[in-house]
Amino acid sequence: MTGVAGDRKRIAACGCGAVTLELSGKPIVAATCYCHSCQQAGRGFEALPGAPAVVGADGGTPYVLMRKDRLTWLSGSDRLAEHRLTPESPTRRFVARCCNSPVALEFTKGHWLSVYSERIPEAERPAAEMRTIVGDRPDGVELPDDIPNYRTPSGKFMWRLLTAWAAMGFRAPPVERTAGYRP
């Protein structure tokens, strides 16, 4: 981590360190998602040989959402495999083929990349500010009230996405156009 709060740099990496991604500046938001898609994809990734855990015992998947113009692939972007739950899904997840570590999720029409929080060293990882889509959590899971628990994407969540998009000039480049990306 360097500089002042708005100038922070963090490195996200796959489990073996071959894929690295620099995250510059303040995240849009750090959140834990409970949607069925994140649970399904996460469980599938966890079944891969040597893959790290992705979904928490409570059914949540923690992410750090970053503007795409604040990302720089430092190494290994050519080792990423794309995963979609269905061929027409606008959401694609990137898994490092070298160690089966899920690295990030992209809503392809969006201006942000959701980096799996576990890819960021614990000492540098932003704490979750909210839980979202908690209506999809597994039956019987009770969530604490230490941070807001939203049944759907909240107004606060959407406002943060909108203000980040405005700051980017309403551009939404694909991951392949982020700095340092090499297919």
Alpha-carbon span 70 to 86, nearest angstrom = 28
Alpha-carbon span 13 to 75, nearest angstrom = 9
Per the CB < 8 A criterion, the answer to whether 175 and 113 are in contact is yes
β-pairing verdict for 130-132 and 29-33:
parallel
Q: What pLDDT does residue 77 have?
A: 97
Domain CATH code at residue 25: 3.90.1590.10
Total structural domains within the chain: 1
Is 180 contained in some domain?
no
Alpha-carbon span 59 to 96, nearest angstrom = 22
Is 181 contained in some domain?
no
- pLDDT tens for the chain, 183 residues: list them: 444 345 689 999 999 999 999 999 999 999 999 999 999 999 999 999 999 999 999 999 999 999 999 999 999 999 999 999 999 999 999 999 999 999 999 999 999 999 999 999 999 999 999 999 999 999 999 999 999 999 999 999 999 999 999 999 999 999 999 999 998
Concatenated DSSP letters for 154-183?
A: -HHHHHHHHHHHHHTTS----GGGSBT---
Residue 117's Cβ-side half-sphere holds a number of Cα atoms within 13 Å equal to 21
Closest CA to 109 of 29, 171, 27: 171
Q: What pLDDT does residue 7 have?
A: 67
Q: What pLDDT does residue 183 have?
A: 84
Is 175 contained in some domain?
no
Is 179 contained in some domain?
no
Alpha-carbon span 13 to 52, nearest angstrom = 12
Is 177 contained in some domain?
no
- pTM score: 0.94
Is 178 contained in some domain?
no
Closest CA to 178 of 42, 21, 58: 21
Is 174 contained in some domain?
no
Q: What pLDDT does residue 2 have?
A: 42
Q: What pLDDT does residue 58 have?
A: 97
Is 183 contained in some domain?
no
Domain that holds residue 145: 5-169
